[in-house]
Structure 1
Amino acid sequence: MTTRDDYQNRSYGEIPVGTGAKPGIVVVDFQKGFTEEKYPLGGAPLVMRALANTEKLLKVARAYGVPVASCNTAYMNEREMPYWKITAVRETFRHDHPSAALDPRIHDPEYDLVVCKKGPSIFFNTPVSDYFAKERVDTVIVTGCNTSGCIRATSIDSFSHRYRTLVPEDCVGDIEEQPHHDNLRDIGRRYVDVVDLDYTLAYLERWAKTRDGGLNMAAAS
């Protein structure tokens, strides 16, 4: 019989991912289709909480010069789409539909790399990993929605690209609480450190001080 401690007994989650030399942030699918109640998939409370917290995170990150990559999900027509089982995605996630636009609360068109993804992960067939390679990012902070779908897929791809991966629980959201918590627990056992906004802000502050100290030493020499 399986108990709740069996994963822990078998060493799952024993080794923290930790933080590396340079952070980058991905913002997954905070498009109006998820953040405005007038759309079929919009306005879920956990998603709106995540949106508000990600807005706070990005304000600090941009001030510190942290690379940010944002994405939406949109298609030319249903023929281009994968075999989505969600009617609302098939009907509204189109390039010419207003729900495809990124929410302005998290989007800075003059700062962010923006990609339109066609699958669940922001890394799949997009230039995000190339952008992070040029920026020498080794630690990826994952924000956005939905936890059980595109956040999980993005986190696994981030892990697969050999990034240290942090997922702030209060910067990601889902339609329901149970899959949100279940999926975070699961990826936290295997691939990522599940943290929170305060932890992430403290990490960015430490990184900025280290970077600025390094730049100042280089200038002095």
Structure 2
Amino acid sequence: MSDDYQRRSYGSVGVGFGQKPGIVVVDFMLAFTDPQYPLGGAPLVLRALENTRRLLDVARRYDVPVANCNTAYMNQREMPYWKISAVRETFLHDHPSAPIDPRVHDPSYDLTVCKKGPSIFFNTGVADYFTKERVDTVIVTGCNTSGCIRATAIDSFSYRYRTIVPEDCVGDIEEQPHRDNLRDIGRRYVDVTDLASVLSQLEAWRHRNS
């Protein structure tokens, strides 16, 4: 963080964990995780996928609410005005790249939604689910950091959740926008942390509530 931002108090107050966590898993669909597709296989996304898998293994064992999503449309007419031709051509319900990667998806456990915009919270019912579950802290995982992760983090903040983004559980196509966007939301809206710290917090939460 630059001295100018620090002098103006950006990032001076931490968010912290609250009383109950929930996890959102944003767009780990095959379109992003399988290298055979135009948007698939970015190294930072695959790193985030593996770390999120590790996080979810623990979270589900501890009965932490999980909301998981893909982005898909019935046809281009339904889509917003995406400027990415690969999205317009492949983010379709009947396309083989549309399903969520099974490495991070448990349909019998996760609230699973299909979102139509960048944020997992936009018109999906995820916030209603977290309200019922008494979640006050949202851990954001998925891709891409500069797009749907940023949008999800800002919506989470706007819904008044404590919002935690583990850097190694989110990914992007390039490292620079990944770092830039984490730095930016980290000095305004969220705590940017890592998988190890989140696992430690989940362990502490489980012990408090056992």
TM over 0.5: yes
For residues 86-139 of structure 1, give each alpha carbon's deviation from its aligned partner in whole angstroms, at most 9, with x where no partner exists: 000000000000100000000001000000000000000010000000000000
The alignment covers a number of residue pairs equal to 210
* RMSD between aligned residues: 0.7
Map 1:107-122 to 2 at 5 A. Answer: 107-122=105-120
Which of 145, 148, 153 pairs up with 2:146? 148
In structure 1, C-alpha distance between the alignment counterparts of 2:3 and 2:166, rounded to whole Å: 24
- Name 1:166's counterpart in structure 2: 164
Compute the displacement of 1:187 (Å). 0.1
Unaligned runs of 5+ in 1: 213-221
Normalising by structure 2, report the TM-score.
Answer: 0.99
For residues 61-106 of structure 1, give each alpha carbon's deviation from its aligned partner in whole angstroms, at most 9, with x where no partner exists: 0000000000000000000000000000000000000100000000
Which of 42, 59, 62 pairs up with 1:44? 42
The one-letter amino acid paired with 1:20 is G
Compute the displacement of 1:5 (Å). 1.2
In structure 2, C-alpha distance between the alignment counterparts of 1:146 and 1:5, rounded to whole Å: 28
Which of 72, 78, 81 pairs up with 1:83? 81
Which of 99, 102, 115 pairs up with 1:101? 99
Compute the displacement of 1:9 (Å). 0.8
3-state secondary structure, aligned to 2:77: coil
3-state secondary structure, aligned to 2:124: coil
Percent sequence identity over aligned pairs: 77
Which of 122, 125, 130 pairs up with 1:124? 122
Larger radius of gyration: 1
In structure 2, C-alpha distance between the alignment counterparts of 1:4 and 1:142, rounded to whole Å: 25
User: Is 1:25 matched with 2:27?
Assistant: no
3-state secondary structure, aligned to 2:25: strand
For residues 170-206 of structure 1, give each alpha carbon's deviation from its aligned partner in whole angstroms, at most 9, with x where no partner exists: 0000000000000000000000000000000000000
In structure 2, C-alpha distance between the alignment counterparts of 1:67 and 1:155, rounded to whole Å: 17
Normalising by structure 1, report the TM-score.
Answer: 0.94
In structure 2, C-alpha distance between the alignment counterparts of 1:4 and 1:52, rounded to whole Å: 32
Compute the displacement of 1:4 (Å). 2.5
3-state secondary structure, aligned to 1:70: strand
The one-letter amino acid paired with 1:90 is R
In structure 2, C-alpha distance between the alignment counterparts of 1:161 and 1:70, rounded to whole Å: 18
- Name 1:64's counterpart in structure 2: 62
In structure 1, C-alpha distance between the alignment counterparts of 2:14 and 2:2, rounded to whole Å: 20
